[in-house]
A and B are shown apart, each in its own frame.
Chain A
Amino acid sequence: MYDIIVIGAGVSGCAIARELSRYKIKIMVLEKALDICEGTSKANSGIVHAGYDAKPGTLKAKLNVEGSRKMKALSRELDFSYKQNGSLVLCFDEKDRSKLEELKRRGEQNGVSDICILSRNEVLALEPEVGDKVIAALYAPTGAIVCPFGLTIALAENAAVNGVEFQLGTKVEGVHKAASGYQVKTNKGNYETKIVINAAGVYADELHNMVSKEKMKLIPRRGEYLLCDKLAKGIPEHTLFQLPTALGKGVLVTPTVHGNLLIGPTAEDIENKEGVETTVEGMELIREKAALSVRQLPLKQVITSFAGLRAHGGEDFIIGEVEDAPGFIDVAGIESPGLTCAPAIGAYVAEMVKNLLSPSLKEEFIAQRKGIPSMALASDEERQKLISDNPAYANVICRCEMVTEGEIVDAIRRPLGARTTDGIKRRTRAGMGRCQSGFCNPKVVEILARELGVDESAILKSGEDSWYLLEPEGEEKL
């Protein structure tokens, strides 16, 4: 019998699990994918929003500002990439100036500190390459960027170190009320638990509807992105949002914590909860809209495009115990600014659980987590030290991002280690560079097979059927 089963190992599920791992309770996280951070959490803008967007009084507003305030300290505690680069909301039309002021008032009401409106010249002083149509901007110095995989994986690893069980490749097929709590049916067996936390992303409505008469409907809202080479010229320092215009919601142009340029997203409501394909129309729309923000976008240096699905519920997040299903807590509709909110969502849901279970704190809770050392970011002295401790740190596998065998092996061997090439990519950046794994893919597949003691044909990209190589027997049959 578990005290808590969290369904979904995205950023919300992992943040909640990590927060609850402070207490003497038995927790399990169930995830249908073969790795953590495989859904919405892996394909988003990677922004720590300052908090002026959400309507005052909403959960979004409260958790955004809290999350934004917690993120920096958390990035130090759990060792993931975070950079406070400040954000600008660009205004392109005098007629829209009032909207900019409205946004500022909203931010102040939500408790966002230091926001101000800048004239075109003041904007130019911060970002010399902004578009010619920019007339003013709302400046939020507390705006920041974060590595969404880094954050999610750090939370999960730390939760695991503190005793949380993770069951990957485990799909929940049913949730039923039991004598005391719930029975959770999965493809890998059934589990009993006192409390269920439903953090299943775009599938949270299906889980909710298994236990409640009040039906929920989430809409997968697809956002497509383009990512440009680090070496591209004209990458802005700040995150550049666009004030919505008559033409609709804008797109953002932002550096990533790793120095790439990210532009997007589109916002398209679709039916398919797995519909993460990119489209010609989407990519064109991004190019067109982003051109407003920055004069010369290095669009020739696009290295990849991708799409993510945001779980759109209503105007606000849906977080709380389901009225007709006590002990079943929804964490649903976590669309933007969900990533920013994650640390606050963790604390918020932990508070609910405390009220239900009154658990006591663990004395042996380990708050700190050390990430995989990065040779690319290390100083020469640090590099020497890493190599002298382990020569595999001198064997460069991914030349675009300078990721070494040492880092890849660490990614496999650590708690909740990588089992797929995408898992390696999100933990180490091998394959994230300009050649998009053209050179390193065979080497990463080889290292994974060696470390896991399997044939290379068993190595997957991410999903169950995402094989790279035929089995030797299959080869003979050709």
Chain B
Amino acid sequence: MKKDLVIIGGGPAGMAAALAAYEKGVKDILILERDKELGGILNQCIHNGFGLHTFQEELTGPEYAARYITMIEEKNIPSMLNTMVVNVQGGCPCRITAMNKGQGMFQIEAKAVILAMGCRERSRGALSIPGYRPAGIYSAGTAQRYVNIEGRMPGREIVVLGSGDIGLIMARRMTLQGARVKMVAEIMPYSGGLKRNIVQCLDDFGIPLKLSHTVTEIHGKDRVEGVTVSKVDESLKPIPGSEEYVTCDTLLLSCGLIPENELSQGAGVRMDDVTQGPVVNARLETTVSGIFACGNVLHVHDLVDNVSRESAEAGEFAADYILNGERNWGEPVRPKIPAKSKCTLPADRDTGSQLICIGCPVGCLITAKRKEDGSLIITGNTCKKGEEYARNEMTAPVRTVTSMVRLAGEDQKVVPVKTQAEIPKGKIDECMKEIRATVVSAPVRVGDVLIENVAKTGISVVATANIG
């Protein structure tokens, strides 16, 4: 098989790269995706908060993915699903070895290759947490897959280690599904996640965030029975005497992501110890001729919008390479790594009047004071959304609920959903009860109303993915 451009990975990076290369005039493209559908990790990130930059609106992960999938389909850019690439070699042409059930093992020759395989989570072993090795220790992403894709619950009583966004999101997700999240422990004195997520994933549900705490032992031989949580000192060493035994059956780990570069290394590209991704030049070209890289393979991004933007550039550069030939490689340029989120909510915050805005990732600290006549004076917000949020929060707080609804039938087990608009915070429990009791049948399209007037709020629960 011969192709102009082969893209390895059909997640947000791969799809954005494919679309941009297509726009630049390279039409002979093939996306190779190891999963059964395009979209990558977005498909299991059923919460909202995506797309503010790319689409100027707040979308869930599956909705963000669906928009790109639709664009890919409109342009008839072909993809092979359930297909694993086992080897990539650069040069002219590049050679890709892949396999799938239908075609067996096969080779593709391509003028250029874009690596867009994403990243993976740091495991328990890499964290060297001592203790037994029972079942019930999951990376947050594995648990997310179980809950949001397989529709299965991996435990009842949860401790989350690491307060990255996935950890915070999963704390809320498990709580919404009925589990009890005992705490989120974070070894650093600040959270690695966004302020808005601390507010809407932990504070909303009364889940304690224990900063400067870590898990120092795992108990239980067959299944997790508990963990020891200890306070750490400035050098992150556990402080003797601070140990607390926490009963739980599940430990979720959200302790960092690592670019997945086995194929890149197999291709012989030079790696950057800092980003843990390939060394690239200003045109996102690796040190091996014809091989480009973008997205979380290159470095771990904070927002999917940034992945899409960078990957579109990679697509354009690859198209230029295919159409106009190789240029002088030039200098290595390290991609701008976003400053690591170091969030703490002000400890002395008067929670009655000082609010953290959850409208966007910035998380402004807004003060809302009630005058004698009952009207509100709102300060500290940097946009209109903030004012609206504060007003709501002081009078009738509202939230968007994201979850999944069961599907009848075997193939796909659940469909992700959201409340079409925000509902009163006090109605979340009732809303979840209805969502959990609902079963629908495929096909389902994004926006289809699955529950009308949920919890008597007047608001519908709608599908956020296309199924069937």
A438 touches B141 (CB 8 A): yes
**Could you list 17 further interchain pairs (A-B, Cβ under 8 angstroms) beyond the known A278-B130, A388-B104, A434-B120?**
A231-B262, A280-B216, A283-B128, A303-B125, A380-B105, A394-B104, A395-B84, A437-B142, A438-B121, A438-B123, A438-B138, A439-B120, A441-B142, A446-B150, A461-B135, A462-B222, A465-B222
B152 touches A466 (CB 8 A): no
Most A Cβ at <10 Å: residue of B34, B124, B135: B135
Cβ of A302 within 8 Å of any chain B Cβ, yes or no, is yes
Contact residues in B for A447 (Cβ distance below 8 Å): none
- With the chains together, A303 CA to B103 CA distance in Å? 34
A478 touches B141 (CB 8 A): no
Cβ of B155 within 8 Å of any chain A Cβ, yes or no, is yes
- With the chains together, A302 CA to B124 CA distance in Å? 10
The distance from the CB of A380 to the nearest CB of chain B, in whole angstroms, is 7
- With the chains together, A191 CA to B132 CA distance in Å? 34
B123 touches A436 (CB 8 A): yes
- With the chains together, A392 CA to B217 CA distance in Å? 39
- With the chains together, A231 CA to B150 CA distance in Å? 32
Cβ of B270 within 8 Å of any chain A Cβ, yes or no, is no
The distance from the CB of A405 to the nearest CB of chain B, in whole angstroms, is 8
Report A278-295 residues with CB < 8 Å from chain B CB: 278-280, 282-283
- With the chains together, A438 CA to B260 CA distance in Å? 13
Cβ of B353 within 8 Å of any chain A Cβ, yes or no, is no
Known: A283-B128, A302-B125, A470-B152. A274 touches B120 (CB 8 A): no
Encoded as 1 (CB less than 8 Å from any A CB) or 0, chain B from 87 to 108 comes to: 0000000000101111111000
5 contacts between A and B (CB under 8 A): A277-B132, A399-B262, A460-B135, A470-B154, A478-B178
Contact pick for B99, options A305, A383, A470, CB 8 Å: A383
Report B106-156 residues with CB < 8 Å from chain A CB: 120-121, 123-126, 128, 130-136, 138-139, 141-142, 145-146, 149-150, 152-156
A302 touches B128 (CB 8 A): yes
A396 touches B84 (CB 8 A): yes
CB-CB nearest in chain B for A464? B222
B120 touches A470 (CB 8 A): no
Contact residues in A for B105 (Cβ distance below 8 Å): 380, 383-384, 387, 394
Cβ of B399 within 8 Å of any chain A Cβ, yes or no, is no
- With the chains together, A35 CA to B138 CA distance in Å? 23
Cβ of B211 within 8 Å of any chain A Cβ, yes or no, is no
Using a CB–CB cutoff of 8 Å, the interface residues on chain A facing chain B are 226-227, 231, 274, 276-280, 282-283, 302-306, 380, 383-384, 387-388, 391-392, 394-396, 399-400, 402, 434-439, 441-442, 446, 456-457, 460-470, 474-478
- With the chains together, A383 CA to B131 CA distance in Å? 39
CB-CB nearest in chain A for B117? A399
B152 touches A392 (CB 8 A): no
The distance from the CB of B144 to the nearest CB of chain A, in whole angstroms, is 10
- With the chains together, A400 CA to B134 CA distance in Å? 21
Most B Cβ at <10 Å: residue of A304, A446, A477, A478: A478
- With the chains together, A66 CA to B221 CA distance in Å? 36
Contact pick for A438, options B97, B103, B120, B128, CB 8 Å: B120
- With the chains together, A21 CA to B102 CA distance in Å? 42
A395 touches B124 (CB 8 A): no
Contact residues in B for A470 (Cβ distance below 8 Å): 152-156
Contact residues in A for B139 (Cβ distance below 8 Å): 435, 438
**Which 10 A-B residue pairs are closest in the complex by CB-CB distance?**
A478-B178, A304-B125, A463-B222, A461-B135, A465-B222, A436-B123, A466-B222, A396-B84, A387-B104, A466-B135
Cβ of B177 within 8 Å of any chain A Cβ, yes or no, is yes
- With the chains together, A283 CA to B125 CA distance in Å? 12
CB-CB nearest in chain A for B102? A391
- With the chains together, A375 CA to B142 CA distance in Å? 25
Cβ of B323 within 8 Å of any chain A Cβ, yes or no, is no
- With the chains together, A462 CA to B134 CA distance in Å? 8
Contact residues in B for A383 (Cβ distance below 8 Å): 99, 105
Contact residues in A for B130 (Cβ distance below 8 Å): 277-280, 282-283, 305
Known: A277-B132, A466-B135. A396 touches B265 (CB 8 A): no
- With the chains together, A466 CA to B132 CA distance in Å? 12
The distance from the CB of B51 to the nearest CB of chain A, in whole angstroms, is 26
A274 touches B221 (CB 8 A): yes
B221 touches A395 (CB 8 A): no
B99 touches A394 (CB 8 A): yes
Cβ of B71 within 8 Å of any chain A Cβ, yes or no, is no
Contact residues in B for A394 (Cβ distance below 8 Å): 84, 99-101, 103-105
The distance from the CB of A287 to the nearest CB of chain B, in whole angstroms, is 10
The distance from the CB of B252 to the nearest CB of chain A, in whole angstroms, is 12
CB-CB nearest in chain B for A400? B262
Contact residues in A for B131 (Cβ distance below 8 Å): 277-278
Most B Cβ at <10 Å: residue of A274, A302, A402, A434: A434
B221 touches A463 (CB 8 A): yes
CB-CB nearest in chain A for B216? A280
